[in-house]
């Protein structure tokens, strides 16, 4: 990566920082949910372009439209703390996809794969990102969101620079040729370092052993999320999911690790640490 690319990458992150602090620190729960809904829609748009694009041919508009409405409904269900409603939305979306599939299958058997990708997208983006809303709406939710974001971002930065300057052994070359084992270890070390500092300063009563496991699992989940999106992009032969964020690619490129890490943080916060 060139110096200008490094500068663009850091400028994008620093420009978004004041908004992030205001959104989390002073925004209301409904404002948080609305921004998450917007991020969800932008990410779904990029995902559908990858999963349903079919080389600029028919992208199955009914599947995408059902996905957008279902994604928003899942976000609303998470804000309303209704797990049952989330399940109902997923089921109804699946039924709608099946209704669309049957009359088209005779002339277009590929519709089965498209439906599978659409249903996967509902779990991949709205359901996983809804964990952020659940964390935000629990006790001490705001500091925990900052906690999670700091750990994930630290891991991303640590993995990038450790891989760039120390990387020798490929981690998963069939999915992401540039990622290395050294970068992965560097990311996990950054997860532990930043997580430990924040825990010591802001959450001194939490048990160290459980927190250490949480930091590593959040970091590992984030790396899996990054690789998972890389596999999606490689399957359709694109480099970035979009161009929304200079130096970072699309929205999905920016939140891929967070999608997998957020449910891990929610589980630890709600069922293990407290």
Tell me how far the alpha carbon of residue 172 is from its chain's centroid: 20
Contact 54, 38 (CB under 8 A): no
Residue at which a domain ends, from 88, 109, 137: 137
Closest CA to 130 of 66, 82, 79, 64: 79
Domain boundary among the residues 80, 111, 137 is at 137
pLDDT per position as a tens digit, 220-250? 999 999 999 999 999 888 876 665 655 557 8
100 shares a domain with 219? no
Instruction: List the helix and strand counts (H, then E) for the chain.
Output: 10, 2
CA distance linking residue 206 with residue 273, whole number of Å = 7
Same domain, 169 and 259: yes
Q: In terms of domains, do 133 and 154 share one?
A: no
Contact (CB, 8 A) for 241 and 228: no
Average confidence (pLDDT) over 259-264: 98
In tens, the pLDDT along 138-190 reads 999 999 999 999 999 999 999 999 999 999 999 999 999 999 999 999 999 99
Residue 122 lies in a domain: yes
Domain that holds residue 269: 141-274
- Let me know whether 171 and 206 are in one domain: yes
70-38-81 Cα angle (round to 5): 55
| 145 and 61 within one domain | no
Q: Tens of pLDDT along 22-69?
A: 666 667 899 999 999 999 999 999 999 888 865 444 568 899 999 999
- 73 and 121 belong to one structural domain: yes
The structure's pTM equals 0.90
- Is there a contact between 203 and 147 (Cβ–Cβ < 8 Å)? yes
In angstroms, the CA 216 to CA 58 distance is 42
The confidence band for 3, taking pLDDT boundaries of 50, 70 and 90, is very low
For residues 164 and 66, state if they share a domain.
no
pLDDT digits (tens, 9 = 90+) for 70-116: 999 999 999 999 999 999 999 999 999 999 999 999 998 989 999 99
In a domain, 63, yes or no: yes
Question: How many separate domains does the chain show?
Answer: 2
12 assigned to some structural domain: no
**Do residues 108 and 179 share a domain?**
no
Domain end position, chosen among 101, 121, 137? 137
pLDDT of residue 274: 76
């Amino acid at each position: 990566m060139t110096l200008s690319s490094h500068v663009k990458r850091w400028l994008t992150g620093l420009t978004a920082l004041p908004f992030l602090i205001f959104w989390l620190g002073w925004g209301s729960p409904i404002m948080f949910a609305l921004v998450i809904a917007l991020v969800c829609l932008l990410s779904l748009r990029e995902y559908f372009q990858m999963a349903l694009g079919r080389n600029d041919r028919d992208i199955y508009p009914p599947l995408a439209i059902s996905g957008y409405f279902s994604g928003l409904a899942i976000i609303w269900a998470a804000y309303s703390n209704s797990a049952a409603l989330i399940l109902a939305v997923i089921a109804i979306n699946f039924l709608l996809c099946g209704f669309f599939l049957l009359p088209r299958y005779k002339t277009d058997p590929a519709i089965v794969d498209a439906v599978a990708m659409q249903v996967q997208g509902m779990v991949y983006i709205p359901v996983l990102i809804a964990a952020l809303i659940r964390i935000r709406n629990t006790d001490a939710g705001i500091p925990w969101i900052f906690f999670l974001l700091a750990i994930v971002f630290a891991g991303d930065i640590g993995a990038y620079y450790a891989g760039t300057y120390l990387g020798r052994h490929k981690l998963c070359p069939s999915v992401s040729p540039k990622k290395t084992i050294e970068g992965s270890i560097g990311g996990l070390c950054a997860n532990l370092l930043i997580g430990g500092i924040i825990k010591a300063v802001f959450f001194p009563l939490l048990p160290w052993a459980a927190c250490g496991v949480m930091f590593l699992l959040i970091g590992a989940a984030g790396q899996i999320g990054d690789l998972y999106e890389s596999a999606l992009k490689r399957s359709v032969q694109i480099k970035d999911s979009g161009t929304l964020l200079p130096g970072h690619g699309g929205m999905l490129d920016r939140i891929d690790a967070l999608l997998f890490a957020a449910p891990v943080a929610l589980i630890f916060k709600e069922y293990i640490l407290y």
